[in-house]
């Protein structure tokens, strides 16, 4: 019996050869769809609101904050209230906790326009690679602001590298809900909120019974 060789071709190749125009149109539409999907994701990413860390000149922090407030740009300037004796009696003052730094929440385009269009004298902190502006995760920023706003006994700014501690949550007291790392400083248990690559702040002493360990 004579064997007949069958020249089998993949379906995709058959379609290309039999219907070249249709095949090219399908491939073109696929590429266009992928391009549009990528473009949409890029737009969404650039429009996303992020927290940026901006350096400014010392003694210019309140001026920059005023400008940002006038522009309707959300910002956070770490401060605390201190009571001091004056010739007119005891008065409360707002004191900067971190000099030369302000946190700005904006989308990518707006963050650049503050410098290029509105001429704000700020420089954004870069990430570890030094190519992009550092973005502070929303949860880290929320804990950071919460601690500064509601800590009853003051906080401590830590500029030195700290050993990593267990992740904990405050379950009692005015700081209930705060998450951070349990670190022992000078013999006392403290909860540290760490902004990676920026700064760390520590609470005053917190009893162990006020804390629970989390994963």
Domain containing residue 112: CATH number: 3.30.70.940
Helix pair angle (20-47, 11-18), 10° resolution: 110
CA distance 78 to 147: 10
In a domain, 1, yes or no: no
In a domain, 155, yes or no: yes
Residue 95 structure tokens? 């004191």
Give the other-Cβ count within 10 Å of 30's Cβ.
10
User: What is the tally of structural domains in the chain?
Assistant: 3
- Mind listing the pLDDT tens digit for each residue in 62-100? 999 999 999 999 999 988 777 788 888 888 877 888 889
In a domain, 211, yes or no: yes
pTM: 0.70
pLDDT higher than 90, residue 206: no
Contact 106, 73 (CB under 8 A): yes
- Mind listing the pLDDT tens digit for each residue in 157-174? 776 566 778 888 888 888
In a domain, 6, yes or no: no
pLDDT recorded at residue 153: 64
Q: Are residues 104 and 174 in the same domain?
A: no
Q: Are residues 36 and 92 in the same domain?
A: no
CA distance 15 to 31: 18
pLDDT recorded at residue 22: 60
Tell which wins on pLDDT, 22 or 204. 204
In a domain, 172, yes or no: yes
In a domain, 188, yes or no: yes
Print the domain residue range for 197.
Answer: 137-215
**Which residues share a beta bridge with 202?**
156, 192
In a domain, 178, yes or no: yes
Q: Are residues 59 and 131 in the same domain?
A: yes
Q: Compute the residue count for the chain.
A: 215
Most confident region among 77-91, 106-120, 141-155 by mean pLDDT = 106-120
Q: Are residues 85 and 64 in the same domain?
A: yes
CA distance 25 to 13: 15
CA distance 205 to 182: 11
């Amino acid at each position: 019996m004579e064997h007949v060789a069958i020249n089998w071709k993949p379906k995709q190749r058959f379609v290309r050869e039999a219907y070249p125009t249709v095949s090219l149109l399908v491939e073109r539409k696929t590429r266009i769809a992928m391009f549009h999907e990528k473009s949409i994701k890029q737009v969404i990413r650039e429009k996303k609101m992020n927290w940026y860390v901006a350096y400014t000149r010392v003694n210019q922090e309140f001026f920059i904050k005023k400008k940002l407030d006038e522009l309707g740009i959300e910002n956070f300037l770490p401060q605390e209230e201190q009571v001091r004796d004056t010739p007119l009696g005891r008065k409360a003052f707002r004191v900067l906790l971190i000099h030369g730094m302000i946190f700005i929440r904006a989308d990518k385009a707006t963050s650049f326009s503050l410098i290029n269009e509105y001429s704000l004298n700020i420089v954004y902190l870069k990430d570890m690679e030094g190519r992009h502006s550092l973005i502070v995760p929303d949860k880290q920023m929320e804990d950071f602001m919460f601690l500064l706003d509601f800590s009853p006994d003051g906080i401590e700014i830590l500029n030195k590298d700290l050993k990593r501690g267990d992740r904990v949550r405050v379950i009692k007291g005015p700081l209930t809900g705060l998450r951070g790392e349990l670190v022992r400083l000078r013999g006392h248990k403290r909860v540290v909120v760490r902004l990676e690559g920026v700064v760390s702040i520590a609470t005053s002493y917190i009893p162990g019974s006020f804390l629970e360990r989390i994963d």
